[in-house]
């Protein structure tokens, strides 16, 4: 497998939102995070991954950065610099970068981001898709004021959704985290040092022309620490061990969630977004999972697709509504896995190619197995929450703890054994009991 060994750090920002602690005496990337400059945290993580050369693009007070890191030897890497005399945006210095490295693919990281991720997984995704650029993307608790990415099922980027747009529609909580793997072909698009924005002027244009731009979706820790409050939150999460635990090299704990009757009010099979209505307490429950460090993963059978009652497009709109409603209140699910199949035939308008006995439909464990592979989940430390005995049987089949809520079917569907590890009034009660069980 190919191995990326060059990283570029955009370290030229002024950091006006951090003026109260920088006093305009140090550049934003040198702000202290738990007693160490943010840039130094970045360099350490990159070195651990195997990065041998780092190019820092500096501007405002860049001499402070160069005085601290020099040639990088004291930090175990080779560091070179590009000095912007005038701000060139996030891509204007690409014309100089061509002379600093001959690497075919390299990492690009913004200097105000704190991260701890398994780069090998992102790199594998990049090369598997022969991507021109791979963006690190994840959900966050404030998608309403974030620039969002729109992708197809494979992860290929099909558009960008600016935070300045009037969003009178349901949207996916897929945020651009400010970390990329870039093929050097993109450098050829910047012929001279002019102010240019990487996402708006380069990536968006490439997406319009169908270029292989992909989003790597991961729940790992990548956070903009461009405000004092965010720095304080990062320090707390760093000291608690949460940041390191989110790295996918480490086994993850997951709370698998049924959808209908567990998160949203049961109304039979939902085939349009307007029918989705969250059960009271759902937002608070998901926020509690998010805070705990566990993954919140939806596992749902959606036979309405095979039965011809709902299109894939409308199902995605339903799920976008779920993500939007959660995001408006500071909560998010890490992923949604759904089974579109149904084994029984005879429905008017059914989709024949989806009518078979699959391995993903609950109580089989195909969706959970896919999540385990994607996120390195430890099933022995995980839970399945649902309102039906089918969810409980899924939990038993997968080897996770079973949690029954009294909403929806309340376990009265009569299909499988009703016994479970935890009983709860609703999802919020279930999550509170799960967190107590973890402790």
Residue 23 has pLDDT above 60, yes or no: no
DSSP E strands in 139-271: the ranges are 148-151, 157-161, 175-183, 213-217, 221-224, 254-257
Is residue 193 in a domain?
yes
Quick: pLDDT tens for 242-277: 999 999 999 999 999 999 999 999 998 899 999 999
Half-sphere exposure of 104 (CA within 13 A, CB side): 7
* More confident call, 272 vs 14: 272
Q: For residue 180, give Cα distances in angstroms to 107, 137, 183, 375.
A: 6, 9, 10, 20
Average pLDDT for 283-293: 97
Residue 14 has pLDDT above 70, yes or no: no
**pLDDT computed for residue 227 by the predictor:** 83
The pLDDT-based confidence of 22 (bands split at 50, 70, 90) is low
* More confident call, 411 vs 61: 411
| Percent of the chain's residues with pLDDT above 70 | 97
Catalytic pick among 161, 260, 334, 391:
260
Q: Provide the β-strand partners of residue 33.
A: 36
Cα 267 from Cα 303, distance rounded (Å): 14
Is residue 332 in a domain?
yes
222, 266: one domain: no
Q: For residue 117, give Cα distances in angstroms to 88, 89, 124, 224, 375.
A: 28, 26, 13, 14, 12
Residue 162 has pLDDT above 70, yes or no: yes
User: What integer best gives the mean pLDDT of the chain?
Assistant: 94
Cα 376 from Cα 245, distance rounded (Å): 12
**Helical segments of 61-118, H only:** 62-69, 94-97
The pLDDT-based confidence of 15 (bands split at 50, 70, 90) is low
Cα 319 from Cα 167, distance rounded (Å): 16
Cα 114 from Cα 45, distance rounded (Å): 10
Is residue 364 in a domain?
yes
Asked about 258 being catalytic, the answer comes back as yes
- Final residue before a domain boundary, out of 236, 262, 284: 236
CATH code: domain of residue 431: 3.40.50.1000
Cα 39 from Cα 46, distance rounded (Å): 11
346, 216: one domain: no
Quick: pLDDT tens for 64-123: 999 999 999 999 999 999 999 888 888 989 999 999 999 999 999 999 999 999 999 999
Average pLDDT for 207-234: 93
Helix (H, G, I), strand (E, B) or coil at 436: helix
Closest residue by Cα to residue 375 from 258, 293, 432, 285: 293
Which tokens sit at 417? 């054994």
- Final residue before a domain boundary, out of 236, 263, 291: 236
Q: Per the structure, how many domains does the chain have?
A: 2
Cis ω for the linkage preceding 363 (within 30 of 0): yes
103, 196: one domain: yes
Average pLDDT for 232-236: 93
Domain hosting 278: range is 251-438
Residue 1 has pLDDT above 60, yes or no: no
Quick: pLDDT tens for 347-357: 788 999 999 99
- Final residue before a domain boundary, out of 179, 211, 236: 236
Residue 181 has pLDDT above 90, yes or no: yes
Quick: pLDDT tens for 95-107: 999 999 999 999 9
CATH code: domain of residue 36: 3.90.550.10
**pLDDT computed for residue 87 by the predictor:** 87
Is residue 168 in a domain?
yes
Average pLDDT for 47-54: 95
Cβ proximity of 331 and 287 under 8 Å: yes
| pTM score, whole prediction | 0.94
276, 193: one domain: no
**pLDDT computed for residue 20 by the predictor:** 56
**pLDDT computed for residue 18 by the predictor:** 61
10 Å CB burial of residue 412 (0-12, 13-18, 19+) is exposed
Is residue 133 in a domain?
yes
DSSP E strands in 162-237: the ranges are 175-183, 213-217, 221-224
**pLDDT computed for residue 344 by the predictor:** 86
Catalytic pick among 161, 258, 334, 429:
258
195, 220: one domain: yes
Residue 19 has pLDDT above 70, yes or no: no
**pLDDT computed for residue 118 by the predictor:** 97
**pLDDT computed for residue 2 by the predictor:** 66
Is residue 1 in a domain?
no
Residue 25 has pLDDT above 80, yes or no: no
The pLDDT-based confidence of 28 (bands split at 50, 70, 90) is confident
Q: Which run of H or E residues covers position 258?
A: none
**pLDDT computed for residue 183 by the predictor:** 96
Closest residue by Cα to residue 94 from 182, 207, 206, 218: 182
Is residue 323 in a domain?
yes
| Percent of the chain's residues with pLDDT above 90 | 86
Other beta carbons within 10 angstroms of residue 46's beta carbon come to: 23
Half-sphere exposure of 375 (CA within 13 A, CB side): 30
Output DSSP code: residue 279. P
**pLDDT computed for residue 3 by the predictor:** 86
Is residue 63 in a domain?
yes
């Amino acid at each position: 497998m190919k191995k990326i060994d060059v990283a570029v750090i955009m370290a030229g920002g002024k950091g006006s939102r951090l003026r109260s602690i920088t006093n305009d005496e140090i550049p934003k990337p040198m702000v202290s995070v738990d007693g160490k400059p943010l840039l130094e945290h970045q360099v350490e993580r990159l070195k651990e991954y195997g990065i041998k050369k780092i190019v820092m693009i500096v501007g405002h007070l860049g001499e402070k950065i160069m005085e601290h890191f020099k040639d990088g030897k004291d930090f175990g890497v080779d560091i070179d610099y590009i000095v912007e005399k005038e701000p060139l945006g996030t891509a204007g210095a690409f014309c100089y970068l061509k002379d600093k490295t001959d690497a075919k693919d390299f990492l690009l990281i913004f200097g105000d981001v704190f991260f701890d991720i398994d780069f090998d997984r992102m790199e594998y995704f990049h090369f598997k898709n022969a991507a021109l650029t791979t963006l690190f993307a994840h959900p966050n608790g404030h998608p309403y004021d974030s620039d969002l990415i729109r992708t197809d099922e494979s992860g290929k980027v099909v558009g960008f959704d600016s935070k300045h747009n009037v969003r009178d529609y349901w949207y996916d909580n897929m945020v651009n985290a400010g970390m990329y793997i870039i093929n050097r072909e993109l450098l050829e698009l910047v012929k001279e040092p002019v102010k240019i924005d990487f996402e708006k002027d380069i990536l968006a244009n490439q997406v319009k022309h169908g270029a292989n731009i992909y989003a790597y979706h991961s729940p790992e820790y990548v956070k903009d620490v461009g405000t004092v409050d965010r720095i304080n939150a990062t320090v707390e999460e760093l000291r608690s061990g949460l940041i390191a635990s989110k790295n996918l090299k480490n086994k993850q704990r997951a709370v698998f969630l049924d959808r209908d009757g567990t998160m949203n009010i049961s109304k039979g099979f939902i085939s349009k977004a307007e029918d989705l209505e969250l059960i009271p307490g759902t937002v608070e429950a998901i926020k509690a999972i998010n805070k705990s460090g566990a993954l919140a993963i939806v596992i749902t059978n959606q036979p309405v697709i095979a039965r011809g009652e709902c299109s894939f497009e409308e199902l995605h709109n339903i799920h976008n509504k779920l993500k939007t409603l959660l995001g408006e209140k500071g909560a998010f699910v890490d992923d949604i896995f759904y089974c579109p199949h149904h084994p029984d035939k005879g429905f008017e308008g059914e989709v024949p190619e989806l009518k078979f006995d699959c391995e993903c439909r609950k109580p089989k464990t195909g969706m959970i197995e896919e999540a385990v592979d994607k996120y390195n989940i430890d099933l022995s430390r995980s839970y399945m929450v649902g309102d039906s005995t089918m969810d409980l049987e899924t939990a038993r089949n997968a080897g996770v703890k079973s949690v029954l809520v009294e909403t929806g079917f309340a376990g009265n569907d009569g299909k499988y054994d009703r016994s479970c590890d935890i009983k709860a009034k609703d999802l919020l009660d279930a999550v509170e009991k799960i967190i107590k069980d973890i402790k």
